[in-house]
Amino acid sequence: MEQRPVLRVNQVWKKYCRNLKRSMWYGLRDLAKHTLGIHRPQPLRDALRPGEFYAVREADFELPEGQCIGLIGPNGAGKSTMLKMINGLIRPDSGSISIRGRTGALIELGTGFNPILSGRENVYINGAVLGMKKRDVDHLFDDIVGFAELEHVIDDPIRTYSSGMRIRLGYAVAAHLRPQLLIMDEVLAVGDVGFRMKCFQHLRTLVQQGVSIILVTHAVGLLPRVATRVILFEKGRITFDGDVQPGIARYEECLAVRNQQSPAVVSTSELNHPRLVAAQTLNAAGLPQRDFQTGDSLRLRLTIESPGQLTDQRLIVNLGTANTDTVASISNAYLNRTIEWQPGQNQIELTIEKLPFLVGGFAFDISLYGPQLDDFHERRMGQGAFRIIGPSIDTSGYGICGLVALPHHWD
Amino acid sequence: MSTDDTQHETVYEPRPDIQRPAVLLAGIARDIWTSRGLAWRLFLRNLRGQYRQTLLGLLWAFLPPLANTAIWIFLRKQGVFQLEAQPGVSDVVYILTGMILWQAFIDALQMPQARINENRGMVSKLNFPRESLLMEGLGDVMFNFAIRALLLVPAFWWYEVPLSSTILLFPVLALLLVLLGFALGLILFPIGSLYQDVGRLITLVLPFWMILTPIIYVLPETAQHSWLVWANPAAPLLMCARDMVLSQSIVWSTPAIVYGVLTLPLVVWGLLVFRISMPILVERMTA
């Protein structure tokens, strides 16, 4: 029998307003309309009021039983808004969200803890807030405290706990809910390493038991440990929905481009200077390609427009990632390659042999110079973005991960 | 976990909930019922937490009405104003009874906003029955009222106030007064959450409102039906409740009956408004 999905997000749109005064006024109007029942969903293109924009556009996906998806994207891309709608805290402006069974949320662990009361009292309160009955908590109490490893201090007031202990207790309570759908927001990167490992182990067990999980995180390196699928949000839209590693690569590529984009172009004040008009990555066979494997060769084809014949030119190519500054910089002078621009368009190719990088996203900064040290023409950021999508990395301690694959052997 | 629980489908869509009032009311009733345990836990949490860091402890519950009464008695003794209390009833008992009722009314009025403000973090991040916060708040208001009402026992004994059976109606009317304040608080709450002007206005208006309510003076017979009584939601039930303890006979007034009958529908309406406005307010809370 075909199982209905646990979560169905159907063509969801959500408006948002950053201006406080306007936002309050719109809130008041929405209140009036909803209280009087005269609210009518408008056609989307007319529905935006001044100062509003769509924080989520056309989101559409399903989550089957026992799947863990990572919701990723740059800040302000709409992930958290999406999560709030799934959690039922706010309503979509268009479309619908249906959820089968009970939803649990791990958001800001320990929300509602009272510092004056003991850990024991707070476990009961937190459990009740999350929808557990007293006898459920009675039944699970020892497991919860054991999971949090706080048996020795459970009767002390919470304010004597360290932040790590509070988070452990918060996670332990929430983790013992038995929801069909578990929503997690940025709670993976908390606690000490040992406890984090325990959480991952626990999440994997939940997934095996058929619990569906949505987790929002910026720590994408941790995703492969639990997630089996990634949804990437960019400017409110879903731009990728698929396997974890290519998804992470897409996300990092988009970060790499954004990182290098401010400002996108720096150029000399001279009006006539050579300009980079296109940058494209090609595979070894010379065909345009953006997805590579570790160890592949990559050719970067640059198109430069020159106002006249210029000799003894220099080209500097910097390679950067989402999380680092430049990781490699190459000047044509290094291999004594001379460059001469002809009037009009010129093409030049740089081949990088055996890309040493592991799964991730990358982009180039291209700088054009004349013969002298200070003959600067222009620099363009975030060019020729590409991704390494495989082979799979392993962040759980049974393989390799990081930025590059180091050739190595053991003796 | 029952199969029913795992197959239950929740749908979130833009359509206003008020278009299906029966579903909405059923949801409110269900949440109030299922969150009674949570409300009780929160009530105990606040009770235990509230006075743990004070020296005087529970005495703080008694102090505001006592201090208020003391000031007015002092002023009257100085001859600043005249009070013709009911024959055979001491001024102290008269003012204290009124003060305790008034305090319960304004506590209930300000409670919904205060509860949501205190629990803003939980409200904007977790999906739990928010009605539990209201139930807890009501419990708190009534608990404080009950404690203060205990003040009346020694006062009655000391001033030898004659008691009659109508005193049994006092708690009922006090409850109605609290519920009326609660309903008004619920109806003001959504606007007050968006615009802090509402809260500031209430703070500004409260002292005048208290003076307009016959707490420190006796309303003359001729003024019992004046528009000042009709327009002041606090007055009719407060006066009636006080009459029940201090007067020998039941003195029903038309405004008290009208407000009494209106209270429950107003509470239901307030709960509807509260429920409908929650997602809209959470959206603006994070804005």
pLDDT at residue A302, as a whole number: 94
Mean predicted confidence (pLDDT) in A373-395: 86
What is chain A's percent helix, strand, coil content, to nearest 5?
30, 35, 35
Per the CB < 8 Å rule, is B287 touching A16?
A: yes
H-only helix segments in A149-212: 163-175, 193-208
Angstrom distance (rounded) from CA B239 to CA B107: 18
pLDDT at residue B88, as a whole number: 67
Residue B287 has pLDDT above 50, yes or no: no
The bridge status of strand A94-100 relative to strand B9-12 is antiparallel
Residue B35 corresponds to which amino acid? S
DSSP per residue, chain B:
--HHHHH-EEEE-SS-GGGSHHHHHHHHHHHHHHTHHHHHHHHHHHHHHHTTT-SSTTHHHHHHHHHHHHHHHHHHHTTSS---PPTT--HHHHHHHHHHHHHHHHHHHHHHHHHHHHTHHHHHH--S-THHHHHHHHHHHHHHHHHHHTTHHHHHHHTT----GGGGGHHHHHHHHHHHHHHHHHHHHHHHHH-THHHHHHHHHHHHHHHHSTTSSPPPGGGTTSHHHHT-THHHHHHHHHHHHHSSS----HHHHHHHHHHHHHHHHHHHHHHHHHHHHHHHH--
All residues of chain B having their beta carbon less than 8 Å from the beta carbon of residue A111 are 121-122, 125-126
Per the CB < 8 Å rule, is A111 touching B277?
A: no
Mean predicted confidence (pLDDT) in A341-349: 92
All residues of chain A having their beta carbon less than 8 Å from the beta carbon of residue B273 are 35
Mean predicted confidence (pLDDT) in A177-200: 79
Pick the residue from chain B with its C-alpha nearest to A133. Answer: B37
All residues of chain A having their beta carbon less than 8 Å from the beta carbon of residue B5 are 101-102
Interface test with A, best of B10, B11, B130, B272 (most A CBs within 10 A): B10
pLDDT at residue A261, as a whole number: 57
pTM of the model: 0.80
Task: Label residues B199-224 b or e (16+ Cβ within 10 Å = b).
Answer: beebeeeeeebbeebbbbbbeeeeee
Reported confidence tier of residue A260, pLDDT bands at 50, 70, 90 = low
Pick the residue from chain A with its C-alpha nearest to B50. Answer: A116
CA distance to partner chain A, nearest, from residue B60 (Å): 19
pLDDT at residue B249, as a whole number: 63
Looking at chain B, how many residues does it have?
A: 287
Total beta-carbon pairs less than 8 A apart between chain A and chain B: 151
The answer to whether A147 touches A136, Cβ cutoff 8 Å, is no
Per the CB < 8 Å rule, is B280 touching A85?
A: no
Tens digits of residue pLDDT in B217-267: 887 777 777 788 888 999 899 988 988 888 766 666 788 899 999 999 999
pLDDT at residue B208, as a whole number: 92
Of residues B2 and B55, more confidence is placed in B55
Tens digits of residue pLDDT in B94-123: 888 999 999 999 999 999 999 999 888 888
Burial class (CB in 10 A: 0-12, 13-18, 19+), B256: buried
Tens digits of residue pLDDT in A322-342: 777 788 999 999 998 999 999
Q: What is the three-class DSSP state of A329?
A: strand
Mean predicted confidence (pLDDT) in A244-270: 77
| Nearest residue, CB atoms, B282 vs list A90, A92, A121 | A90
pLDDT at residue B46, as a whole number: 81
CA distance to partner chain A, nearest, from residue B122 (Å): 6
Residue B133 has pLDDT above 90, yes or no: yes
pLDDT at residue B83, as a whole number: 66
Pick the residue from chain B with its C-alpha nearest to A4. Answer: B7
Angstrom distance (rounded) from CA A401 to CA A10: 36
Pick the residue from chain A with its C-alpha nearest to B31. Answer: A131
Per the CB < 8 Å rule, is B5 touching A102?
A: yes
- A46-55, A178-187, B2-11: lowest mean pLDDT where? B2-11
What phi and psi, each to the nearest 5 degrees, are found at residue A304? -120, 130
Reported confidence tier of residue A217, pLDDT bands at 50, 70, 90 = confident
Residue B51 corresponds to which amino acid? Y
Angstrom distance (rounded) from CA A152 to CA A169: 13
Mean predicted confidence (pLDDT) in A370-399: 85
CA distance to partner chain B, nearest, from residue A59 (Å): 14
pLDDT at residue B105, as a whole number: 95
Reported confidence tier of residue B174, pLDDT bands at 50, 70, 90 = very high
Helical (H) or strand (E) element with A313? strand A310-321
- Measure Cα distances from B200 to A32, B111, B196 in Å: 22, 15, 6
Angle at A291 between CA A82 and CA A225, to 5 degrees: 50
Tell me which range, B15-24, B70-79, B154-163, B167-176, is most confidently predicted by mean pLDDT. Answer: B167-176
Tell me which range, A50-59, A170-179, A190-199, is most confidently predicted by mean pLDDT. Answer: A50-59
Beta-bridge mates of residue A379: A266, A367
Mean predicted confidence (pLDDT) in B30-52: 84
pLDDT at residue B3, as a whole number: 41
Residue B35 has pLDDT above 80, yes or no: yes
Per the CB < 8 Å rule, is B52 touching A116?
A: yes
CA distance to partner chain A, nearest, from residue B24 (Å): 12
Which DSSP state fits A261?
A: T
Mean predicted confidence (pLDDT) in B269-274: 93
Angstrom distance (rounded) from CA A22 to CA A48: 12
Per the CB < 8 Å rule, is B277 touching A34?
A: yes
| Nearest residue, CB atoms, A88 vs list B12, B14, B122 | B12
Nearest in space to B274 (alpha carbons), one of B201, B142, B184 = B184
Interface test with A, best of B5, B38, B198 (most A CBs within 10 A): B38
What phi and psi, each to the nearest 5 degrees, are found at residue A389? -110, 0
Tell me the pLDDT of chain B averaged across its residues.
Answer: 85
Tens digits of residue pLDDT in A112-165: 787 878 899 889 888 888 888 888 899 999 999 998 889 999 999 888 988 888
Per the CB < 8 Å rule, is A34 touching B280?
A: yes
Per the CB < 8 Å rule, is A111 touching B17?
A: no
All residues of chain A having their beta carbon less than 8 Å from the beta carbon of residue B128 are 129-131
DSSP per residue, A197-224:
HHHHHHHHHHHHTT-EEEEE-S-GGGGG
The answer to whether B173 touches B263, Cβ cutoff 8 Å, is no
Q: What is the three-class DSSP state of A30?
A: helix
Interface test with B, best of A3, A6, A35 (most B CBs within 10 A): A35
pLDDT at residue A288, as a whole number: 93
pLDDT at residue B1, as a whole number: 37
Reported confidence tier of residue A1, pLDDT bands at 50, 70, 90 = very low
What phi and psi, each to the nearest 5 degrees, are found at residue A377? -100, -65
The answer to whether A166 touches A158, Cβ cutoff 8 Å, is yes
Angstrom distance (rounded) from CA B48 to CA B46: 5
Per the CB < 8 Å rule, is B14 touching A91?
A: yes
CA distance to partner chain B, nearest, from residue A32 (Å): 9
Quote the crossing angle between the two packed helices A20-36 and B170-194, to the nearest 10°: 130
Angstrom distance (rounded) from CA A360 to CA A352: 17
**Radius of gyration, CA atoms only, chain B:** 21
Residue A46 has pLDDT above 70, yes or no: no
Interface test with B, best of A94, A97, A129 (most B CBs within 10 A): A129
Residue labelled with tokens 């003959």: A375
Q: What is the three-class DSSP state of A165?
A: helix
The bridge status of strand A229-234 relative to strand A237-242 is antiparallel
Name the region of A42 (left: φ>0; alpha: ψ -120 to 50; beta: rest).
beta
Tokens of A366: 């291209």
Per the CB < 8 Å rule, is B284 touching A121?
A: no
Per the CB < 8 Å rule, is B9 touching A98?
A: yes
Residue A2 has pLDDT above 60, yes or no: no
- Measure Cα distances from A285 to A282, A300, B282 in Å: 8, 12, 55
Mean predicted confidence (pLDDT) in B28-56: 84
Tell me which range, A192-201, A232-241, A247-256, B10-19, is most confidently predicted by mean pLDDT. Answer: A232-241
pLDDT at residue A191, as a whole number: 65
All residues of chain B having their beta carbon less than 8 Å from the beta carbon of residue A94 are 14
Of residues A192 and A315, more confidence is placed in A315
The answer to whether B122 touches A112, Cβ cutoff 8 Å, is yes
Tens digits of residue pLDDT in A277-291: 999 999 999 999 999
Angstrom distance (rounded) from CA A12 to CA A27: 20
How is the beta sheet containing A275-282 ordered, strand by strand?
A275-282, A298-306, A344-352
pLDDT at residue A190, as a whole number: 64
Per the CB < 8 Å rule, is B190 touching A31?
A: yes
Residue labelled with tokens 């406080």: A20
